[in-house]
Amino acid sequence: MMKLINLLKSKLDKDIWSDNKKDFDKYLVEPRGRFKGKTNLLLRPRTTKEVSTIVKICNKYNLPLVPQGGRTGLAGGTVPSKKGDELVLSLERMNKILSIEASNYLMTVQAGCVLSKIKKASEKKKLLFSSKTCIRRKLYYRRQYLN
């Protein structure tokens, strides 16, 4: 596997990957600390083109990727396995708000944009973005169908 990882690194700019274990900590644990994994490579692209390059190479050589967006999930889906055989693809550098159409209640953001940034941008436009509302709806529907 390390041969393939080295091949991937050779095809990417040095500033979008790290194999330094000291850089990995926050990417290997979900926010509550309930799930912890391992990796041999952290990928932090800045553009869609860089993501595309990474995904194409990983697909070609069957290198498994674990994508991470804003890292707000609590289900452990963004944590690599304990085996360390998955690479972490953090989209945190892709954190821009691309557009806000207040009249249509539409916001276009990059995959690594965190909810707090989205909420602040909404408030500046006198709009409401509430992730809690979405969670409450899911719980309501879940309760409704389970009872």
Q: pLDDT (tens digit, 0 to 9) for every residue of the chain, 147 residues total? A: 889 999 899 999 999 999 999 998 889 988 788 889 999 999 999 999 999 999 999 999 999 999 998 776 667 778 899 998 999 999 999 999 999 999 988 899 998 888 889 989 999 998 888 766 555 444 444 444 444
Instruction: Clarify whether residues 78 and 27 are in a common domain.
Output: yes
pTM confidence score: 0.80
Q: Which of 90, 110, 125 is the last residue of a domain?
A: 90
Distance CA 38, CA 40 (A): 7
Concatenated DSSP letters of 36-66: B---S-EE--SSHHHHHHHHHHHHHTT--EE
Instruction: Clarify whether residues 101 and 57 are in a common domain.
Output: no
Instruction: Clarify whether residues 40 and 86 are in a common domain.
Output: yes
Total structural domains in the chain?
Answer: 2
Instruction: Clarify whether residues 16 and 63 are in a common domain.
Output: yes
Q: CB neighbours of 19 closer than 8 A, spacing ≥ 6?
A: 5, 9, 40, 41, 42
pLDDT of residue 137: 47
Instruction: Clarify whether residues 11 and 53 are in a common domain.
Output: yes
Reference 49, options 13, 18, 24; nearest CA is 13
Instruction: Clarify whether residues 22 and 76 are in a common domain.
Output: yes
Instruction: Clarify whether residues 129 and 65 are in a common domain.
Output: no
Instruction: Clarify whether residues 135 and 70 are in a common domain.
Output: no
Instruction: Specify the CATH number for the domain of residue 58.
Output: 3.30.43.10
Q: CB neighbours of 65 closer than 8 A, spacing ≥ 6?
A: 43, 54, 55, 58, 86, 87, 88, 89
Q: What is the separation of C-alpha 77 from the centre of its chain, rounded to a whole number of angstroms?
A: 10
Instruction: Clarify whether residues 121 and 72 are in a common domain.
Output: no
pLDDT of residue 142: 43
Structural domain containing residue 44: 2-90
Three-state secondary-structure class, residue 35: coil
